[in-house]
């Protein structure tokens, strides 16, 4: 079975074509700056193999449909093609950010599903409309091929009420649908299952804390395979500190900034999403740049790094309390997989929780699942590369079989 | 030495006169509804003793000065007096809410101190001006008697930068002084020292998590006697769930509510402070009422209770991670001292963190320091009545000696 995975953003479209016989990536790429004067398509056939072929096109890409058409031409073309007929694609898996309370699992897209996705637009105004557009473009270009929607929020739909409800007037949950939804669910699901496999256990038999640290960062408390709590909230702003997002702050700060800076609440919101986090503290939002700056004696960069690790550490403690006891911690995503310094800072001095990192094993970037705890550690610590595309493709296969 | 402790609010004034020889309360009371048509003064001489005498007056009390004058007349009067001359009062201790970064310890009030307190008004607009008024009234009525200011934030001034800074643009800390200050410091200090005493240890030798659960609720991670982190933030809105305050929420919710309800940021702020928390979820904000409702089968009251305990549990985990290991947890204030059900819910299933409550010992209200852990528990669990007035009086004595 061949599955095309699509992640459509407001002005971009990422894709990956997977051969599910062997879970190999046949092609992947990204269409960027859709709607601008000069768009860009970067395509790779057989990426990271000896047969890799890369094609880059820079030209106006008016809309997502035209972008997707270009991708289809490349995939089936002679230059860097990997299949000869679009019909070879058995299913298309779509990442959809906000499933709200309508979706507790992935599902095959039909009319009512599209209505339900659109119904969640107010909760994810930047993402859901774009995701839906991706689905509609796929329906047009691949008539007859089933589309599957996989939600970022789905894995978190098992949270109990005391974890997902905010202590706000209850009407605000009923009417405005304000609650914790959580995001990065596909990644948390993937690595929480993968770590069980690596440990030779069933996901249903272990408690895991998953730590997804990329540009966006989130954590999840996973109890016997089910998400019990997660750090992002109604939106992806909440939780730990991120590249440009504040994470948790005293909610009174919003009004205080609004008043003192003459800003509207939504301008403050934008400040918290785009000018805060690592960038707010030290001016840099890429962890690699932060490490270089620290090496050059930049104290603000060091402070940003310490703040970042400190907040993750607190959530590890909180989720240990929630789960009662934990079997493993998993680090994943850009920082989680590649940044041994940050991982070490987070795990320092946690042996009171039974967490003993082997700092030698931790050294270096990890391209594959790697255990980084000492033999004596009660809790196992793993680094596991995430693979949201594979997870989406697997869910599509599962659903259609 | 006799110390008068004053806690002046915007329309109220609480007081307590302590004989520091034996730390006995000679008199206490409250002046309420100052400035309204009918004010109220409730005064007790020798409270909770066989000699207790209670006086209640209901009449117009125009301002704090008149209120304080009434108190002074009662204290020195024939009806319910406890001293014969105001000069017997050796010092007056004032609770001041916000010390900002200007104060890292209690201090004797002089001109510059008053300026510095006023300088923190923007950070505590409801509290600091009232506290300052209390000081000025005392200066007038007790000429020559030293006034000591004790700050709610002081105990937290030892927090390191990674704990007190928010991941916001750094300018917002420098210019607008946005940071975590923490509150209830006098209570956290008092019970964290008291528990050391009860355990036969020095405060400098143990790590403690203090859990202050009253109408306002906050927690602190206390490392060898010094506060390392606390749950309230720039304002007392943040942290765990409270009677009418939300505690932590996704900060994006402020703009979302503002937009959907047509409210200003400061109206949302007021909603989060006054209509949220236990009250928001189930309509009741007094824990006693919530327990009655739960007994009568009220599911929303049960949900509010579960949410409340769940959030405290998460902070216990977070602070255990921050401190590396802990020696004790202390419960205090109205709920912490009296509510065995809530304490039990919080401590359920925490043996993974070395915390084993003895649910029999935990039963009932605790009027004095009581250990409620099992003999096998690695972490001791205590209930310790807080005494902020005594702590303030002790600091005054300490400063003036
Ligand atoms: N070798 C590395 N060392 C430290 N950080 C790294 C390294 N490689 C990538 N990162 C960080 O990973 C983050 C991006 O993570 P990624 O998972 O790709 O993000 P996204 O959330 O956009 O999927 C960036 O902060 C980047 O600095
Ligand atoms: N016996 C009790 N059982 C449960 N809760 C109690 C009991 N007594 C007092 N409380 C609760 O304590 C809270 C008030 O705590 P207190 O420390 O007096 O508040 P404040 O923060 O105003 O000083 C209220 O929620 C009240 O319901």
| pLDDT reported for residue B376 | 97
Residue B169 lies in a domain: no
**A-chain residues within 8 Å CB-CB of B237?**
250-252
Confidence of residue A401 (pLDDT cuts 50, 70, 90): confident
Residue A44 sits in the same domain as residue A140: yes
Q: Among the three residues A116, A135, A151, which one is the final residue of a domain in this structure? A: A151
Contacts of A26-32 with C-beta under 8 Å, sequence gap 24+, read A26/A2, A26/A82, A26/A83, A27/A74, A27/A75, A27/A80, A27/A82, A28/A389, A29/A71, A29/A74, A31/A61, A31/A64, A31/A67, A31/A68, A31/A70, A31/A71
Residue B17 sits in the same domain as residue B92: yes
For residue range B369-387, what is the model confidence (pLDDT) as tens digits? Answer: 999 999 999 999 999 999 9
Residue A171 known to be catalytic: no
Instruction: Determine the distance separating the centroid of ligand 1 and the alpha carbon of A239, expressed in angstroms.
Output: 18
Residue B117 lies in a domain: yes
Instruction: Please count the structural domains in chain A.
Output: 2
Residue B156 lies in a domain: no
Residue B328 lies in a domain: yes
A364 Cβ below 6 A of ligand 1: no
CATH number at residue A55: 3.30.420.40
Residue A191 lies in a domain: no
**A-chain residues within 8 Å CB-CB of B170?**
280-282, 300
For residue range A259-314, what is the model confidence (pLDDT) as tens digits? Answer: 999 999 999 999 999 999 999 999 999 999 999 999 999 999 999 999 999 999 99
CB atoms B265 and A265 under 8 Å: yes
- Work out the minimum CA distance from B199 to partner chain A, whole angstroms: 21
Pocket mutation for ligand 2, best pick of B188, B287, B337, B389 (most atoms within 8 Å of C-beta): B287
For residue range A344-398, what is the model confidence (pLDDT) as tens digits? Answer: 999 999 999 999 999 999 999 999 999 999 999 999 999 999 999 999 999 999 9
For residue range B32-45, what is the model confidence (pLDDT) as tens digits? Answer: 999 999 999 999 99
Residue B136 sits in the same domain as residue B222: no
Measured in whole angstroms, how far is the alpha carbon of residue B60 from the centre of its chain?
29
Residue B162 lies in a domain: no
- Of the candidates A73, A90, A152, A358, the residue annotated as catalytic is A152
Minimum-distance ligand 1 atom for the alpha carbon of A217? 21
Instruction: Determine the distance separating the centroid of ligand 2 and the alpha carbon of A157, expressed in angstroms.
Output: 34
CB atoms A266 and B247 under 8 Å: no
Residue B340 lies in a domain: yes
Residue B138 sits in the same domain as residue B217: no
Pocket mutation for ligand 2, best pick of B335, B340, B344 (most atoms within 8 Å of C-beta): B335
Mean pLDDT taken over chain A: 97
Q: Among the three residues B133, B151, B169, which one is the final residue of a domain in this structure? A: B151
> Which structural domain range is residue A134 located in?
2-151
For residue range A166-190, what is the model confidence (pLDDT) as tens digits? Answer: 999 999 999 999 999 999 999 999 9
Residue A26 sits in the same domain as residue A125: yes
Residues with CB under 6 A from ligand 2: B 214-216, 243, 286-288, 333-335, 338-339, 365
Known catalytic residues of B? 152
B126 part of contact set with chain A, CB < 8 Å: no
């Amino acid at each position: 079975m061949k599955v095309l995975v699509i992640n459509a953003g407001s002005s971009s479209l990422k894709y990956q074509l997977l051969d599910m016989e062997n879970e190999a990536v046949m092609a992947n790429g990204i269409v960027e700056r859709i709607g601008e004067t000069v768009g860009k398509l970067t395509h790779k056939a057989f990426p990271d193999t000896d047969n890799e072929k890369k094609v880059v096109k820079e030209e106006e890409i008016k809309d997502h449909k035209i972008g997707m058409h270009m991708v289809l031409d490349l995939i089936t073309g002679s230059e860097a093609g990997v299949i000869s007929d679009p019909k070879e694609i058995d299913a298309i898996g779509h990442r959809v950010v906000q499933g709200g309370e309508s979706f507790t699992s992935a599902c095959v897209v039909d009319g009512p599903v599209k209505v339900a996705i659109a119904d969640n637009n107010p909760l994810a105004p930047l993402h859901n409309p774009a995701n839906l557009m991706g689905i509609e473009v796929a329906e047009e270009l691949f008539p007859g091929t089933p589309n599957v929607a996989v939600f970022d929020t789905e894995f978190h739909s098992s949270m109990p009420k005391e974890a997902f409800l905010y202590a706000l007037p209850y009407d605000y949950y009923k009417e405005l649908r304000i609650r914790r939804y959580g995001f990065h669910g596909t990644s948390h699901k993937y690595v929480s299952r993968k770590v069980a496999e690596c440990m030779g256990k069933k996901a249903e038999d272990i408690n895991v804390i998953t730590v997804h640290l990329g540009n966006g960062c989130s954590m999840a408390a996973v109890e016997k395979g089910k998400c019990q709590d997660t750090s992002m909230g109604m939106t992806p702003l909440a939780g730990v500190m991120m590249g440009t997002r504040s994470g948790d702050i005293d909610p009174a700060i919003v009004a205080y900034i609004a008043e003192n800076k003459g800003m509207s609440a939504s301008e403050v919101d934008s400040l918290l999403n785009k000018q805060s986090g690592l960038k707010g503290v030290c001016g840099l939002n890429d962890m690699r740049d932060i490490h270089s700056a620290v090496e050059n004696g930049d104290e603000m960069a060091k402070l940003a790094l310490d703040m970042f690790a400190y907040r993750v550490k607190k959530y590890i403690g909180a989720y240990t309390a929630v789960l009662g006891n934990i079997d493993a911690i998993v680090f994943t995503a850009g920082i989680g997989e590649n940044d041994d310094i940050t991982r070490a800072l987070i795990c320092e001095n946690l042996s009171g929780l039974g967490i003993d990192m082997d700092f030698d094993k931790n050294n270096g970037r990890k391209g594959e699942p790697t255990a980084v705890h000492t033999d004596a550690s009660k809790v196992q610590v793993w680094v596991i590369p995430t693979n949201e595309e594979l997870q989406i493709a697997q869910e599509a296969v599962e659903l259609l079989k």
